[in-house]
Amino acid sequence: MREDTRRPQLAVGVFVFDAAGRVLLVQRGRPPAQGQWSVPGGKVEWGESVAAACRREVREETGIDVELGPLVTWIERMDDAHHYVILDFVAVPRGDHAQPIAGDDAADARWLHETQLDDVPLTAGLRQVLRQARALCQPV
């Protein structure tokens, strides 16, 4: 009998809030959820700390450097091909005038006010975690 060598993959998501209370979102450029908007994030690489993965993913997808804050929650996503355990954190940008530039696998990147969230298709469950993240949003 052959043991199944597949394992869950660890990933991160980062809720970055600026001084105006806007959240940094990226439009996914690839499946899953291509075309939908979510927070920057992705897989933690072998030998990389979770904090370093958060900073790297935000920088790769938006060009913005962040100061990482507290853990918001964790989410588990499973389908026939994937099993992810996602750790979601709060962060603030380093620098006063950080303008996002879409990079890596992001099709677009923007700062959005809460009132603008109805204008873009969001990934499943994002609003609920966004509320939790906003409640934790204190200067870090």
Query: At 128, is the pLDDT very low, low, confident or very high (cuts 50, 70, 90)?
Result: very high
pLDDT at 121 over 50: yes
Asked if residues 25 and 37 have their Cβ atoms less than 8 Å apart, the reply is yes
Domains of the chain: 9-136 (3.90.79.10)
Q: Which residue has the tokens 């890596």?
A: 104
> What pLDDT digit, counting tens, does each position of 34-68 carry?
999 999 999 999 999 999 999 999 999 999 999 99
pLDDT at 5 over 80: no
Q: Which residue has the tokens 């990389």?
A: 48
The predicted pLDDT at position 140 comes to 46
Of 71, 74, 86, 69, give the one whose Cα is nearest residue 33. Answer: 86
- Distant-in-sequence, close-in-space partners of 66: CB < 8 Å, separation ≥ 6: 14, 16, 54, 55, 58, 59, 91, 92, 93, 94
Mean pLDDT in the chain?
92
Instruction: Output 55 or 138, whichever has higher pLDDT.
Output: 55
The predicted pLDDT at position 105 comes to 86
**Dist CA 81 CA 43 (whole Å):** 15
Query: At 138, is the pLDDT very low, low, confident or very high (cuts 50, 70, 90)?
Result: low
Amino acid symbol at 1? M
